[in-house]
Amino acid sequence: MGFVNKITGFWGVSSNATGHAEKFISGIGGFIGILLTMWVSHHYLGVQGAALLVASMGASAVLLFAVPHGALSQPWALMGGHFFSALIGVTCAQSVTNPLIAAPLAVALAITVMHYLRCTHPPGGATAITAVIGGEQVHALGYQFVLTPVLVNALIMLLAAIAVNYAFQWRRYPASLKQQASKPEVQNMAATSKLMHDDFEYALRELGTYVDVSEADLSRIYRLAVKHAWQLSDQSGEISAGLYYSNGEQGADKSVRKVIEVSDKDGGSAVTYSIVAGNGQGAIKTATMPDFTNWQEYEVILKQGSWHRIRPIDL
């Protein structure tokens, strides 16, 4: 089993706790969305252009129907991602004569703009490429390509996702329409037990919909939230990259270091760190693991402008 786990881990094969109904609903929704967008694309672009554009809409269908509550699936990501990518793609196609340069340039600019405008939608990259290599029918449309068929198709996908998912309370799209349970203040239960694999699998299964986040990321989110809320950690004895440590002093003698990297060096472990508070602030240095361990007294976290000690969870 250890070998199998290594292989599946290498390929990124993760557990999927979603039920059969969820999987079938996703497939049916994708069928409806693509059927409608194919009709619109064929009307405006013919067979070749439609095939290329529907490919990007097919990728959107996977997000909207398989991961309806994901950040990349929300309406602004869908509409903004396709709109700005199409706009950039047409501009590159008209400004750069060599498609070998225009296509990658369009994708690069689309990625950058989507990041800045907070509408990252991976299928937008395909839309940008289509504007460049879609053929004469796409090029003849010019900037009309942005509105028809791209925005029309994106709008159809949006309406299809809303309609299909609305019938199922746990899938309602966009995420803002999903009925949320009341949010009472979370009590400090962190010190009572340690979350295990079965706990995460149960939580994902109860959510019903597919969540595009790994168990390791969920565990990290949980630990960071517990640290921020209650200054508790079940890993307080470990020296790990990305964490902050203090020498335990106060006033002018206080120093806080952020670990950048823990690496093997000359038969032992070395800690590369930056000084974020105290004398030498901003400097980046390296120390042996024993030296760093002897220097640090405890892990800390910055909260509301001051450093707070992280205490171990008593399990």
Q: Using H for helix, E for strand and C for coil, what is the string for 188-254?
A: CCCCCCCCCHHHHHHHHHHHCCCCCCCHHHHHHHHHHHHHHHHCEECCCCCCCCCCEEECCCCHHHC
| Lowest-confidence region among 53-57, 124-128, 183-187, 252-256 | 183-187
Give the H or E element holding residue 154. Answer: helix 152-166
Confidence of residue 5 (pLDDT cuts 50, 70, 90): low
193 pLDDT more than 80 = no
Instruction: Tell me which of 54 and 81 has the higher pLDDT.
Output: 81
Average pLDDT for 153-163: 94
> What pLDDT shows up at residue 93?
97
> What pLDDT shows up at residue 84?
98
18 pLDDT more than 70 = yes
Average pLDDT for 174-182: 68
Q: What is the pLDDT of residues 215-258, one digit of tens each?
A: 677 777 777 777 777 777 766 567 888 889 999 998 889 999 99
| Lowest-confidence region among 96-110, 184-198, 262-276 | 184-198
> What pLDDT shows up at residue 99?
94
**CA angle centred on 73, ends 72 and 77, rounded to 5°:** 65
185 pLDDT more than 60 = no
129 pLDDT more than 70 = yes
Average pLDDT, the chain: 84
182 pLDDT more than 50 = no
Q: Where are the beta strands (DSSP E) in the chain?
A: 232-233, 244-246, 256-265, 268-277, 284-288, 298-303, 306-309, 311-312
197 pLDDT more than 70 = no
Q: What is the pLDDT of residues 20-69, one digit of tens each?
A: 888 899 999 999 999 988 888 787 777 666 776 778 899 999 999 999 98
Average pLDDT for 114-133: 95
Query: Which of 76, 65, 61 is CA-nearest to residue 209?
Result: 65
CA–CA distance, 208 with 172 (Å, rounded to integer)? 12
> What pLDDT shows up at residue 229?
72
187 pLDDT more than 60 = no
180 pLDDT more than 70 = no
Give the H or E element holding residue 181. Answer: none
Instruction: Tell me which of 122 and 230 has the higher pLDDT.
Output: 122
Instruction: Tell me which of 197 and 129 has the higher pLDDT.
Output: 129
Do 269 and 288 form a contact (C-beta atoms < 8 A)? yes
Query: Which of 60, 27, 86, 40 is CA-nearest to residue 157?
Result: 60
What's 175's DSSP letter?
G
